[in-house]
Amino acid sequence: MKGNGAIELIAVSKHYGSTIAVKSINLKIPAGAYCCLIGPSGCGKTTTLRMIAGHEVISEGDLLIGNRNVTELPPVKRGTAMMFQNYALFPHMTCMENVAFGLRMQGVAAPERTERAKEMLARVHMEKFADRKPDQLSGGQQQRIALARALITQPSVLLLDEPLSALDPFLRARMRDELRRLQQELGITFVHVTHAQDEALALSDIVVVMEDGVIRQQGTPEEIFNKPRSRFIANFMGGQNIFKGTVSESSPAGTLLGRGPDSFLLPGYGNATTGEDLEFTIRTDLISLGEQAPGDAKNGQIPVEITTVEYLGLWVRIVATTDDGKEITLMKTESEFRQAPVRRKEKFIAYWKPEHAHVLA
């Protein structure tokens, strides 16, 4: 392995003429971490990945891999390997030849090439398919070969651009497990571009959310999901309702938004300015419906009418609308729903425990 796989981007930018695809991003990925870059289409994920790989020139800033400044180095000198979205397998070569290709380029002798390619095929459970051509394989199998081919040169960093997007949902979940297992077995750094929230949450040690060429938030999946920094992150990652209100009282112990029966309490959130507007989130699974709010939810309640009840199998998704037309989404497990079914047009109090509120920047 070529050094360790720690990656550091220091004020890295990419310009295409007058377009700024990536704007001065700073990112540290520890060696052996699984990092997902996620964000809407066009936010700069692929460009960032390609700059790490060396397939794209860095316009400004520095890139360190394994504490070496590799900004000016060609791809083969960086200790990285890339797996492409369309797999890019050589159609005229067998699986074995495809996997051994990188070693042939390095001038490794035939017996060692075969030996190492066999080992790598076994790692991805494809040893039985060594003599097949890519067009004799399913999508999932082609992907395993592409993975084996990328890993054969023992990179310290594997870069993957939307590796699962061509697979059906069942295979996606299986390959997701497989990627995580491989990454942990090999102990190398994976940087994986995706636009799928579930994928980023399931796979990552570090999730990096991008928008408009900048990093909006980075953290563990739990941090990104439960403590979104902004309205954009909360909406993009999903699973949250966003409420707002005007600060009426604030002390180090907490802040109160609004007055009277519909006031919202933000315990533990101090130092707000009276009159300032604040937004906060409550997870869709942490809101309940009832005739009235229990004592511990008195400062987290709002009257609603049910507008949608959608059966999703394990979950039931409920949309409820407030008097001023705001929609609130609630997710109930099917068994919770069966214990307390609700129907369209019924009126309830939606309530939550104030300590579940998370204030947005």
Q: Which residues bind ligand ADP (CB under 6 A)?
A: 16, 19, 21, 39, 41-47
Number of residues that bind Mg ion (CB under 5 A): 1
Shortest Cβ 229–Mg ion spacing (Å): 23
Instruction: Annotate each residue in 39-58 with x if it binds Mg ion (CB under 5 A) or - if it does not, as one string.
Output: -------x------------
Shortest Cβ 169–Mg ion spacing (Å): 20
Shortest Cβ 54–Mg ion spacing (Å): 17
Picked from Mg ion, ligand ADP, none, the partner binding residue 187 (CB below 5 to 8 A depending on kind) is none
Is the CB of 2 or the CB of 172 nearer to Mg ion? Answer: 172
Picked from Mg ion, ligand ADP, none, the partner binding residue 350 (CB below 5 to 8 A depending on kind) is none
Shortest Cβ 280–ligand ADP spacing (Å): 29
Picked from ligand ADP, Mg ion, none, the partner binding residue 43 (CB below 5 to 8 A depending on kind) is ligand ADP
Q: Does residue 258 come out as left (phi exceeding 0), alpha (psi in the -120 to 50 range) or beta?
A: left
Picked from Mg ion, ligand ADP, none, the partner binding residue 216 (CB below 5 to 8 A depending on kind) is none
Shortest Cβ 313–ligand ADP spacing (Å): 31
Is the CB of 45 or the CB of 216 nearer to ligand ADP? Answer: 45
Residue whose CB is nearest to Mg ion in the complex, by number: 46
Shortest Cβ 199–Mg ion spacing (Å): 14
Q: Is 156 in the site for Mg ion (CB under 5 A)?
A: no
Instruction: Annotate each residue in 223-242 with x if it binds Mg ion (CB under 5 A) or - if it does not, as one string.
Output: --------------------
Strand-pairing partners, residue 334, are none
Is the CB of 153 or the CB of 194 nearer to ligand ADP? Answer: 194
